[in-house]
Amino acid sequence: MKSSYKHSIHKPSIAVIGLKGLPAFGGAATVGENLIGELHAQYCFTIFSVKSHAQSDYSLGDVKQVVLPGCIWKKINVLMYYIQAAIAVLFAKRGTFDIIHLHHTDAAFIAPFLRLRYKLILTSHARPQDGGKWSTFVKIFFRINERIAVHSANVFTTVSKSLRDLYKRKYNIDAQYIPNGVNAQLKDNGISSKTSEPYIFFSAGRIIPIKGLHLLIEALKKIDYKGSLKVAGNIDHLPEYKTQIMQQAQGLNIEFLGLIKDKAKLLAYAQGAQLFVMPSLTEAMSIMLLEVGLMKTPMLVSDIEAITNVFDDDEVLFFKSGDVNNLAEKLKLALAEKDMMHDLANKAFDKLMKRYQWKDIAWQYAHLYNSLLNSDNANKTTL
């Protein structure tokens, strides 16, 4: 395995743990892929991935992807991935890596061990204990990991202003906020938006209660919606919720597309929609929201802090989070006032181009990498 770490050019070497696999099809992996795509000429990245999420033939310049074997027992697959990745970097030849970039606070249990040998930057993408029907034991595990995360990393970053503020209140630490962004090239990649009929689009990697699909379906019934709703995402994650959604969906024209890993195909659905609805009850900083904005698709979204921190009400149409009646009212408005919605979409696109392009955001991470590298060099000089 050590031969997999070798790079053709001598540059600072960064091991990346937590993306789970490239090419990305959503979430933190998309963040990491864009970050690496912008910075791979300056740094040697080695990505530790898991077989279930990665393509072994992935190629991007001098970037290396080490694919670790998965675990037969799916419930501990991610846990075993983190342990395997930690062992791999801890037993790598001295000088192989200069920095470890660890993604996700639920991986923080390996952070103290990584710190024995390396400078560590840890990025929080969300609070996992806030989503899904986790057992009490798992939620305790997540809380313990969060505490380890904020105190173990040399540099602790978050993709969300609301998370940054929460960490300040809860732990009295100053997490560094670096937002997620968009790859402007996606808007010109030749995807087609042609469709035979108008439709509303909903998308989530995992369709769980906090994503609010049940609220959207109920609201559509309230306005007697006769059009089509296309739903992208894994609806099998929580069987009980799937049963609820399927029962609710009766009487509506809903097409369940499943989890779409092909980015171009997913964005084609987003671009072709007359309206994208994000009724989430909680988010960190949604990549999907940003990429839909990049497609200039009109957006109706809940007024949670994670979204209001990015867009204003002259760029998207908001509804009161969790309020089905208000969502129904705003659905009628959005479907009736097409010119207004397209004007909002154009303004959202303009903001993304000015403030949220990866080519600009990535250099904020580069600054942190360089600070860690320089501090390490200073310590060596002193010694």
Query: Would you place residue 191 in the very low, low, confident or very high pLDDT band (cuts 50, 70, 90)?
Result: low
Q: CA angle, corner 49, sides to 45 and 54, nearest 5?
A: 110
Q: What is the pLDDT of residues 263-295, one digit of tens each?
A: 889 999 999 999 999 999 988 889 999 999 999
Same domain? For 158 and 144 the reply is yes
Distance between CA atoms of residues 89 and 67, nearest Å: 13
Per-residue exposure over 118-149, b if at least 16 CB sit within 10 Å of its own CB, e if not: bbbbbbbbbbbbebeeeeeeeeebbeebbebb
285 and 222 together in one domain: yes
pLDDT at residue number 195: 57
Strand partners, 231: 202, 256
> Are 362 and 351 part of one and the same domain?
no
Cβ pair 149, 128 in contact under 8 A: no
User: Per the structure, how many domains does the chain have?
Assistant: 2
What are the DSSP E strand ranges found in 1-82?
13-20, 44-50, 64-68
More confident residue, 191 or 65: 65
Query: Per the structure block, which two tokens stand in for 185?
Result: 């090239």
The pLDDT tens digits for 358-369 are 999 999 999 999
Predicted confidence at residue 9, as pLDDT, reads 58
Which residues, other chains included, contact 185 with Cβ-Cβ below 8 Å and sequence gap of 6+?
none
Span 89-102, mean pLDDT? 95
Worst-scoring range by mean pLDDT, 31-40, 48-57, 149-158?
Answer: 48-57
Flag whether pLDDT at 69 surpasses 90.
no
What is the Cα–Cα distance from 166 to 159, expressed in whole angstroms? 12
Question: Letter for the amino acid at 67?
Answer: V
Model confidence at 381, in pLDDT bands (50, 70, 90)? very low
- 3-state secondary structure at position 1: coil
Domain enclosing residue 198, as ranges: 184-355
CATH number of the domain bearing residue 268:
3.40.50.2000
Are 44 and 90 found together in one domain?
A: yes
The answer on 202 and 351 residing in a single domain is: yes
**Residues 143 and 209 placed together within one structural domain of the fold:** no
Residue 88 within a domain: yes
